[in-house]
Amino acid sequence: MTRHLENVRACLAVALLFPAACEGGAPSSTPAAAPEKPAAEARPATLDAAALAREPDVLYLDVRTPGEFAGGHLEGALNIPVDDTARMAEAIGRKDRPVVLYCAAGGRSGRAMAALTAQGFTRLANGGGVDAAAAKTGRSIVR
């Protein structure tokens, strides 16, 4: 009887570790494909801010507060706070327009970039903080 219980335990362990083996048929020699992430969880592709800055219709989007923007921003930048992605989308217009987003250190611009990517925008770069964005793009900071 104990030998029978040992066999049952072993079979259960195999079933828990390899559930596909219990779904009928022989185990496949091909590994299972990883499940796709839903679009909301997809990480935005990383584009180079310096490369996008060379394009003629690039938009510089400062996602900080108006007070932070007034303290210094990239020349020609548009200020739309991070939580107003509807207004950002309207300002950007077409989904493939090149956009360099920046903030104080890169966190808020990263969040805005993820939200815009989820809406289908494809040519976005996180410039990081205002100083880093200026260095990457060659834009001057207006104070």
Q: Give the amino acid at 49.
A: A
pLDDT in tens, the chain (143 residues): 555 445 545 444 444 444 443 334 444 444 444 444 444 444 555 689 999 999 999 999 999 999 999 999 999 999 999 999 999 999 999 999 999 999 999 999 999 999 999 999 999 999 999 999 999 999 999 99
State what percent of residues in the chain have pLDDT above 70: 68
Least Cα distance to 49 among 60, 57, 37 occurs for 60
Q: Element (H or E) spanning 112, and its range?
A: helix 107-118
Least Cα distance to 123 among 41, 40, 63, 45 occurs for 45
pTM of the model: 0.69
Residues of 65-88 as b/e, b for ≥16 C-beta within 10 angstroms?
eeebbeeebbeebbebbbeebeeb
Among 103, 113, 124, 130, the active-site one is 103
Please report the pLDDT score of residue 109 as a whole number.
98
103 is a catalytic site residue: yes
CATH of domain 43-142: 3.40.250.10
Q: Give the amino acid at 106.
A: G
Pairing of strands 141-142, 73-74: antiparallel
